[in-house]
Amino acid sequence: MNNTVLPPAEPTSEQLTGLSMVEWAAALRERRLTAVECLEQHLGRIAQANPRLNAVVTLNPLAREEAEAADAAAAEGRLLGPLHGVPFTVKDTLATKGLRTTAGSPLLGDYVPEQSATAVRRLQEAGAVLLGKGNCSEFAVETHSRNPLFGDTWNPWDTSLTPGGSTGGDSAAVASGMSAFGIGTDFGGSIRWPAHCTGIASLRPTPGLVPETGLLPYVPPADGSLPAPNSMSALHRLGTVAWLARSVEDLAVLLGILAGPDGVDPSTVPVPLGGPVDSLAGITAAWFEDEGTYPVRDDLVAAVRNAAEVLEGQGVPVTHGRPPGIERAATAFVALRTAEGMPEVVELATGREDELGANLGTSLLGATPGTVVQYRRAAAERDAIRARVLGFMEEHNILLLPVASVPASDPRIRSFTVSGKDIPWTELGSCCRAISILGCPVAVVPCGLSNEGLPVGIQVVGRPYRDREVLAVAAALERAFGRFSPPPLSSRRAD
């Protein structure tokens, strides 16, 4: 951890956005400020930046009560947990007890869960203070965070650009200092693309480590309970709860808090995480320019190449080469997702189709879900690709590749030309989709700036359940390239 000094009672925006979650936690633990003071600083930042960014869409009216409870405990000499008093936001697809949870859809505009998602509950039990809900695309489908309930969220680096999607509200909140960290989800890149767009760090843990209980879409049960995630669903088998923060150290702390079965999600397994990996000894790596179907801009490829050279300089054997079969992976992901369809959303929308947003309504109502045979065929293709890539990873433990073909972009531009090839907006994240079907842990860490001066993140991919190894490599890159830096004032029009 760097030695950032806690800002004074009236901190500047730069001081607020530069502190990591771990640094806020240390300041609270050491009584250098109270939880209420910490909350007030973050609420002040929300008042300052949110009108331009539209990142936090629902504030928690009980946040002050939670902060006061933390201060009362501290006065008695007790800490509520490792995140005592630290404010955080939650993607609006994760249930929050007593706080509206909409998934960005009018279909759930009035839904107030009676229970919180397991991940949210564990964070609050660790002492964190729930600030509110981060904006997302409707039912987390699009790669830009906009929906018919709350509108668009914008990037603190440039408010004409996307902060990514579907966890864009939390990425904008964390990057602009409104929240110490954000909890969201990642299926096809919903945490990785936002981290890349806003210059922060993220972790998509190995699917199965963190329960997805309380993750929409689902049809809310009449008894107020949270349904068990469907173990046959591609969304739950390939996706996972994931998080965004300002340092790799933050990501590691959150992993330790969030991992482990909850007795509800049948896909969560009790795998020991092990202790932190303090050395890169024995780790090998491979890097490649793209996943094999859509090219990546040269300046973003250069960031991956530079990361590979950093690891080589630290004694890690690094090979330049793409794993066999991965060029089929993004297509396999789309085939599996398409064959499954979105049955929970269809059930929610039946008889209320006109309430869906235009983009989701068009794609959902015009789609024909696959048969069981087609779903099985898509799953078999996924398994075959995964076996080949994981075989490659026995010799090359870590994969380094881009997050996307371009940096954060204007969501109104629907096509990009890279290396002479047209790339539709919907295909910018093929590098993420290709990794999603592997069931691997993935960290995104910023490794420089693009030609326009925008952040560039790279994917650090590891073998299943080797999350600590991934974090060790990400931390080494963070030390070399520098931890998250707030967007420069000249670019950050949110202020």
Q: Residue 492: is its pLDDT beyond 60?
A: no
What is the pLDDT confidence band of residue 11, given thresholds at 50, 70 and 90?
low
Question: pLDDT above 90 covers what percent of the chain?
Answer: 89
Q: Which residues neighbour 340 within 8 Å (Cβ) at sequence distance 6 or greater?
A: 233, 234, 235, 369, 370, 375
Q: What is the mean pLDDT of the chain?
A: 94
Q: Which residue has the tokens 């989709």?
A: 433
Give residue 419's pLDDT: 96
Q: Which residues neighbour 419 within 8 Å (Cβ) at sequence distance 6 or greater?
A: 295, 297, 298
* Stretch 432-438: mean pLDDT: 98
DSSP H or E run through 424: strand 421-424
Can you give the pTM of this predicted structure?
0.96
415 a catalytic residue: no
**Through-space distance between the first and last CA atoms of the chain, rounded to whole angstroms:** 28
Strands (E), 187-236: 201-204
* 3-class DSSP assignment, residue 236: helix
What is the pLDDT confidence band of residue 491, given thresholds at 50, 70 and 90?
low
171 a catalytic residue: no
Catalytic residue, from 166, 202, 267, 436: name it.
166
Q: What are the tens digits of pLDDT across the range 322-358? A: 999 999 999 999 999 999 989 999 999 999 988 888 7
416 DSSP β-pair partners? 423
Q: Residue 9: is its pLDDT beyond 50?
A: no
Catalytic residue, from 20, 105, 190, 202: name it.
190
Question: pLDDT above 70 covers what percent of the chain?
Answer: 94
Contact between 94 and 18 (Cβ < 8 Å) = no
Pick 43 or 360 by higher pLDDT.
43
Q: Which two tokens stand for residue 406?
A: 């371009």
Give residue 360's pLDDT: 80
Q: What are the tens digits of pLDDT across the range 361-371? A: 777 766 777 89
* 3-class DSSP assignment, residue 68: helix
Q: What are the tens digits of pLDDT across the range 73-103? A: 999 999 999 999 999 999 999 999 999 999 9
Under CATH, domain 13-481 is a member of which superfamily? Amidase signature (AS) domain (3.90.1300.10)
Domain ranges within the chain, ordered by starting residue: 13-481
Catalytic residue, from 91, 105, 133, 430: name it.
91
91 a catalytic residue: yes
Q: CA-CA-CA-CA torsion for 297, 302, 303, 307, nearest 10 degrees?
A: 140
Q: Residue 69: is its pLDDT beyond 50?
A: yes
Specify the DSSP class assigned to residue 76.
T
Contact between 237 and 243 (Cβ < 8 Å) = no
Q: Which residues neighbour 148 within 8 Å (Cβ) at sequence distance 6 or greater?
A: 104, 105, 106, 138, 356, 357, 358
Give residue 336's pLDDT: 94
Q: What are the tens digits of pLDDT across the range 369-402? A: 789 999 999 999 999 999 999 999 999 999 999 9
* Stretch 209-222: mean pLDDT: 97
Contact between 390 and 383 (Cβ < 8 Å) = no
